[in-house]
Structure 1
Amino acid sequence: MPYRFDGFELDADRVELRRHGLIVPVEPQVFALLLLLVENRDRMVSKEEIIGTVWGGRAVSDSALSSRIKSARRALGDDGPERRFIRTLHGQGFRFVADVTAAEPRALPPAGPSPEAPPPPVSARPSIAILPFRLVAASELHPALGEAVAHDLIVALSRLRWLFVIARGSSFRFRSGHPDACRAGRLLNASYCLCGIVETMAGSVVITAELIDTRSEEVLWADRCTGPIEAIHALRARIAASVIAALEIQIPLHEAALASVASPHCLSAWSAYHLGLRHLHRFTRQDNAVATGLFARALALDPYFVRAHAGLSSTHFQSAFLRYSGDAAGDARAARAHAERSLDLDPLDPVANFTMGRAFWLTGEVDRSYPWLERATALSPSFAQGFYARAWADAITERDRTGIENVEMAMALSPLDPLHYAMLATRALTCLIQGSTGPAAAWAERAAQSPGAHVMISLIAVIAQTLDGNRDRAAIWTADVRRRGGSSQAHFFASFPFRDGPLRRRMAKALGDNGIA
């Protein structure tokens, strides 16, 4: 809808600023800033809200914000001492103060969109085509090996639910010769293409896989597996697991990167969701709030978006776990409600089952989480975070043997996972259950030093180092806890509800010995 004020027209549909009918050139971020201020002209818009909308919540300097405000004022001829349009409320934010009328949108000309206007957002979820892998020096015993590997991947990737996988009948039309993966992907209307090579020689086989963005022709990820020819079936399973775990990270990261440079008003539901995931995994109060807004935006665009409900369940889980809001019980109820809604929409989505199981942790009902977590990994056998969650539950309930197997599976499947630090910390807890304080201290140290590790991981390091007799290291991590706002035993044992017994008492004493009451 166009907004008119003092000879200007701000047209959200065409993404244009016009003055007396003539286009005023403005950068996309400046346009987004103007639109945000005009749409909220009845109130002040805070700096945090501007950053959350215009920059997607990314960390930006005050000078970057000031630069965009200055550019917006210059476009409106409002850069003199008298502020007729954008007023600064020092230390708080900005407000649009001119009189504005909302006009009926003009009919678009039949000739199509202006080349300067951004394309309309794509509402569909990310799509991928898996081409038959090309055979090199193929064995007569395995003439269809390349097609078999691709078929394995199509079946496995179809379980992910969030990724649209082109059917075998279409992608296998490119089985002959040396097809151009990017051209094939574009012909199949797939934003990503997975292709590879199978090479057999001297009794061994090498399988190489590449993930390509068909729009930019960029290789986003590649990997290879090697093994004896007689173990080909195990090798096929291994490459499938490796590909799935990698794509669970690589595609969302790439989609978030693309969304972060797009105009906020052009975000599709899936773009907003992937950008929200990036903020969610930073584990800070501010990023969690930005993620909540982005997931909510995705739901506003698509009310039946399963993963957006799962995302909101995760933001409320994080808020309850780390006590962001001061209403842990309310956050726990919201985490459960959004998990239930995601399951209502798609009971076969592994992430929906994962969030449902994890919601029980917030109420100390860890045993009730098992059926949901086991279902999540059954639906997607390469779902690393599902195996990590099972390992965490095993550790809290002191089922050490299974916990070790599950956490090692999680780390093997996804060594670059955003929750890798939590996997390391869970491995430390399994060692504490066994009484192996030395390995526990080593695992906890690695966990606390990992990117993204929150304050609860530092508390685990305090406990493990103390129980292993490393007072100096325990003191360092205690100082880290205090630097980050501190915590308490009540908070720790609410988040990690170990049963009352010798281990819990030793952990409580370790915290107490370091002044954490």
Structure 2
Amino acid sequence: MTYEFGELKLDLARQELIRGGARVDVEPMVFQLIHFLIQNRERLVPKEELFTLLWDDRAVSDSALSTCIKSARRAVGDTGNLQEIIKTVHGRGFRWVAQVQSNESAHVKKPPTDLDGGDDVWVEAARRPSIAILPFETVGTNEEAKTLGEAIPHELIATIARLRWISVIARGSSFRFPSTLDDFGKIHHCLGVKYCVTGNVEVLGRQISIGVVLTDTEDGEVIWADQFRSSMDDIHEVREKILAQVIFAIEIQIPLSEATKARLRSPENIDVWATYHLGLQSLYKFDANENDMAISMFEKAISLEPSFARAHAALSFAHFKTAFMHYSENRNVAVNAARSAAEKSIELDPMDPFANFSMGRSLWLVGDLDGAKSWLNRSTTLSPNFAQGIYARAWTETVSGATSVGRRLSDEARVLSPLDPMLYAMLGTRAMSHAIEGHYDEAADWGVRAANAPGAHDLIAMIAVFTNELAGNHSKAADWAKRLRASRLGITQEHFFRSFPFSDNAIRERFSTALSRHNIPEI
């Protein structure tokens, strides 16, 4: 569906504002504001309604809305003095006053006044994943349960809104659906979302049970579900756990689901998002051929949609892997490609946690640990439950010598994402932190756990070698060294230490000596 006004066109399917055939750069929130004003152009839109739409009723100042309105006017070629497109009604709200032509009637009718409005729909589903959080069903008449049934979904909306790659429906729309609704086809039809989170809350005495389910609204498939139980005294802890686990499900399970379904389609029907998710599926396999496949998929996604910031960030990640794992003889080419793709993703969307994560990792490759820390910290500030950002910070802090900080962050990442594709890296980070501190028995235990974790690669096996050697487990270290040489001929210590640029040379020498005892050459 498109709306046209003057020289401009608002394309909802592509989520683009276009002027004379050229794309106009516009922030997602500003795009959402323009779309909403156009949809409601027959009436005055109160300021309060816009606060609900854009910030989900979070406490923000009037100046935040003024800034957003100013950006919207700039995007469509209007000004506060002219007000030829967006008119301010002082003290009350705003109106869209420009003439609009649309193909709305062929695709989307006006919003229903009743949820049983038959064929009426609100929006056309966007190509990128979108999600709605419904109020949780409450069992019984307990007032605390009713409060939690709305409070937890509200917090989920606010938390998911920080993830830049998925759109979340505002509370004002999703909370119009009753908590007991289980007709996911209707949710998909009315809200245009691909995924939906539902739940239930039951309080028995001082015990509480909360169930949460993530469902694909197109086919009703349950993507992820979990049950959380605690006493009411610990409700804040279980609330934080729910937020963390739902974010994990969205960040990990949705991409896996998207990739699996994409493989069932014929290649000519795979769109940009499916291509991106196919790339992610290959990205998390530490294999040179799979990594080449990931690069190919991300480059294809970018060719389909050059402004797709996350595809550029993922491409940076793939080139990072090429350099980190020494898949190419010319490591510098991969280092530069990782940096270039990361910079492009930041240029396109500086608020995307994954873009900031990729930028930090690209600096890691050249040994700029302070610069890496800055970008990685920013990634987790933007999304506090971003497990991969937290583990990358753990890695950086550990290699910098801040072992206790690294260990804490590593544990936090594992709690947030216990089935993460990078679990081996989280375990390996903890192993290195113990080894640096001289706690070799603990280091050896965590080193073996890391090397045995799904997807663990050669450099993780090298951690198992030197941690066991330092712990006095000489035969176990020899066994891991044998496995290492069998899996990758010609591997040297240089591969490891170029990928892990320890700031303390004494630590490097200690690990190097342990590796040399098992005939792993320095170069």
TM-score by length of 1: 0.75
Rounded to whole Å, the distance in 1 between the matches of 2:238 and 2:449 is 30
Q: Could you give the per-residue CA deviations for residues 402-428 of structure 1, whole angstroms, max 9, x where no partner exists?
A: 111100000000011000011110110
Equivalent position SS for 2:418: coil
Aligned-residue offset at 1:451? 1.4
How many residue pairs get aligned? The number is 398
In the alignment, structure 1 residue 241 sits paired with structure 2 residue 259: no
**1:135 corresponds to:** 138
Task: Determine which of 214, 219, 222 is the counterpart of 1:216.
Answer: 219
Equivalent position SS for 2:251: helix
Task: Determine which of 495, 509, 512 is the counterpart of 2:513.
Answer: 509
Equivalent position SS for 1:215: coil
Contact 1:204 1:229 in 2 (8 A): yes
Bigger mean CA offset, 257-266 vs 177-186: 177-186
**2:458 corresponds to:** 455
**2:498 corresponds to:** 494
**1:166 corresponds to:** 169
Contact 2:208 2:232 in 1 (8 A): yes
Q: Could you give the per-residue CA deviations for residues 9-58 of structure 1, whole angstroms, max 9, x where no partner exists?
A: xxxxxxxxxxxxxxxxxxxxxxxxxxxxxxxxxxxxxxxxxxxxxxxxxx
Q: Could you give the per-residue CA deviations for residues 304-329 of structure 1, whole angstroms, max 9, x where no partner exists?
A: 00111011101110000111121111
Equivalent position SS for 2:495: helix
Contact 1:138 1:199 in 2 (8 A): no
Rounded to whole Å, the distance in 1 between the matches of 2:298 and 2:141 is 48
Q: Could you give the per-residue CA deviations for residues 320-363 of structure 1, whole angstroms, max 9, x where no partner exists?
A: 01111211111111101110100000111000000001111111
- Alignment-mate amino acid for residue 444 of structure 1: G
**1:367 corresponds to:** 370
Equivalent position SS for 1:173: coil
Rounded to whole Å, the distance in 1 between the matches of 2:291 and 2:475 is 33
Task: Determine which of 359, 362, 387 is the counterpart of 1:384.
Answer: 387
Aligned-residue offset at 1:179? 4.5
Rounded to whole Å, the distance in 2 between the matches of 1:138 and 1:159 is 33
Contact 1:377 1:387 in 2 (8 A): yes
Equivalent position SS for 1:200: strand
In the alignment, structure 1 residue 331 sits paired with structure 2 residue 340: no
Equivalent position SS for 2:294: helix
Aligned-residue offset at 1:369? 0.7
In the alignment, structure 1 residue 144 sits paired with structure 2 residue 175: no
In structure 2, relative to structure 1, the CA distance for the partners of 1:416 and 1:139 (3 Å cut) is same
TM-score by length of 2: 0.74
Task: Determine which of 314, 318, 342 is the counterpart of 1:315.
Answer: 318
Rounded to whole Å, the distance in 2 between the matches of 1:405 and 1:353 is 21
**2:305 corresponds to:** 302
Task: Determine which of 406, 410, 419 is the counterpart of 1:407.
Answer: 410
Equivalent position SS for 2:162: helix
Q: Could you give the per-residue CA deviations for residues 212-244 of structure 1, whole angstroms, max 9, x where no partner exists?
A: 111121111101222222333333222111111
Task: Determine which of 196, 201, 225 is the counterpart of 2:199.
Answer: 196
In the alignment, structure 1 residue 472 sits paired with structure 2 residue 478: no
Task: Determine which of 389, 395, 399 is the counterpart of 1:396.
Answer: 399
- Alignment-mate amino acid for residue 513 of structure 2: K
Bigger mean CA offset, 484-493 vs 373-382: 484-493
Rounded to whole Å, the distance in 2 between the matches of 1:256 and 1:138 is 42
- Alignment-mate amino acid for residue 498 of structure 1: F
Equivalent position SS for 1:174: coil
- Alignment-mate amino acid for residue 496 of structure 1: F
Rounded to whole Å, the distance in 2 between the matches of 1:295 and 1:413 is 26
- Alignment-mate amino acid for residue 387 of structure 1: I
In structure 2, relative to structure 1, the CA distance for the partners of 1:159 and 1:515 (3 Å cut) is same
Equivalent position SS for 2:154: helix
Contact 1:182 1:212 in 2 (8 A): no
Rounded to whole Å, the distance in 2 between the matches of 1:447 and 1:191 is 35
Equivalent position SS for 1:160: coil
- Runs of 5+ unmatched residues, structure 1: 1-121
* TM-align CA RMSD: 1.7
Task: Determine which of 182, 188, 197 is the counterpart of 1:185.
Answer: 188
Bigger mean CA offset, 394-403 vs 177-186: 177-186
Aligned-residue offset at 1:168? 1.2
Rounded to whole Å, the distance in 1 between the matches of 2:227 and 2:517 is 49
Rounded to whole Å, the distance in 1 between the matches of 2:359 and 2:241 is 29
In structure 2, relative to structure 1, the CA distance for the partners of 1:177 and 1:512 (3 Å cut) is closer
- Alignment-mate amino acid for residue 158 of structure 1: A
Rounded to whole Å, the distance in 2 between the matches of 1:221 and 1:268 is 24
Rounded to whole Å, the distance in 1 between the matches of 2:165 and 2:203 is 34
Contact 2:145 2:203 in 1 (8 A): no
Rounded to whole Å, the distance in 1 between the matches of 2:180 and 2:506 is 66
In structure 2, relative to structure 1, the CA distance for the partners of 1:150 and 1:500 (3 Å cut) is closer
Rounded to whole Å, the distance in 2 between the matches of 1:413 and 1:479 is 34
- Alignment-mate amino acid for residue 508 of structure 1: S
Rounded to whole Å, the distance in 1 between the matches of 2:477 and 2:182 is 58
Rounded to whole Å, the distance in 2 between the matches of 1:390 and 1:350 is 13
Task: Determine which of 351, 354, 358 is the counterpart of 2:357.
Answer: 354
- Runs of 5+ unmatched residues, structure 2: 1-124
Rounded to whole Å, the distance in 1 between the matches of 2:155 and 2:148 is 11
Equivalent position SS for 1:144: helix
Aligned-residue offset at 1:142? 5.1
